[in-house]
A = this chain, B = another copy of it.
Amino acid sequence: MEIIETVAGIRRALDAWRKTGAVIGFVPTMGALHAGHGSLIETARRETGCVAVSIFVNPIQFNQQEDYIRYPRPLAVDAEFCRARGADIVFAPAVEEMYPSPQRTFVEVAGVSARLCGEYRPGHFRGVATVVSKLFHIVQPHRAYFGEKDAQQLAVIRRMAKDLNVPVEIVAVPTVREESGLALSSRNRLLTPEQRAIAPALYQALRAAAEMVSGGLRDIESIKTLALEPLAWHPEIRVEYFEIVDPDEMQPVEQIAGPVVIAAAVWLGSTRLIDNVQARPA
């Protein structure tokens, strides 16, 4: 496995792979890798001939400087993690390599970016869409792998790829969870043991709402109220949003008539966790 730090370097390496006829699989990450990323890499490994993983903590998608600074960056451990799962290339550029001059060009996905995380993290999805556009142009993969855990990010990238005719197939990979149900996240390691013990309540609330939907409940406000009730037992959990949305548009639905995504963000102290589940009416 090669670790490459420059745009020119990874282009050269991938040109050589392309000449062999290999299908290029790409897993963009911000590092701090866990079994969720592992599942992306392993899926890419099964489906493609060359697996490239990028590790880049992208400054322009953080709306809080504080969050950017404390984001974990265990690069050596991450590289070993990729190697162990059969990646061929790790692309780990410095910030100056990705943004050598002031970034003036931004990719915006209206609508899909507006609600949920987009509402509470202004500019976040603009930063995500922009860096993914850059990485796609650098790597030029055939297939790119994204986790369902970040449902809105997945919808934004899918819409960007469709709207801009990006010649990359976007592949969604299911969320990996602890036995408790807590979705794996790089931010979990920022939780105190006490916070970690109550964090699974987020998934339990989402599951409860999904079961109400599949069980035939239709009143959205009632579903939200009932599902969120158990969270009141944990005053340490602050709910930022809890919404039932359309899977493609990521806008709250007015009535439940087809498949929906139930998505939530909560704060535990100064750490923000997101999660979501899919549901469909019976």
Contact = CB atoms under 8 A, between A and B. Distances in A.
Interface of A: 7, 11, 101, 103-112, 129-130, 133-134, 137-138, 140, 159-160, 162-167
Nearest to A137: B165
B101 A105 contact: no
A103 B163 contact: yes
A137 B104 contact: no
Contact of A167 (B107, B130, B137): B137
Contacts of A160: 105
B7 A133 contact: no
A163 B167 CA distance: 19
A85 to B, nearest CB: 26
B104 A105 contact: no
A168 to B, nearest CB: 9
A105 B161 CA distance: 9
B130 A105 contact: no
Nearest to A105: B163
- Most chain B CB within a 10 A radius of its CB, from A112, A130, A137, A140: A137
Given A130-B164, A165-B137, A159 B109 contact: no
A171 B255 CA distance: 52
A129 B105 contact: yes
Nearest to A165: B137
A221 to B, nearest CB: 28
A130 B214 CA distance: 40
Given A133-B164, A164-B134, A108 B109 contact: no
A159 B107 CA distance: 13
B159 A104 contact: yes
A106 B108 contact: yes
Contacts of A109: 104-105
A161 to B, nearest CB: 9
Contacts of A137: 164-167
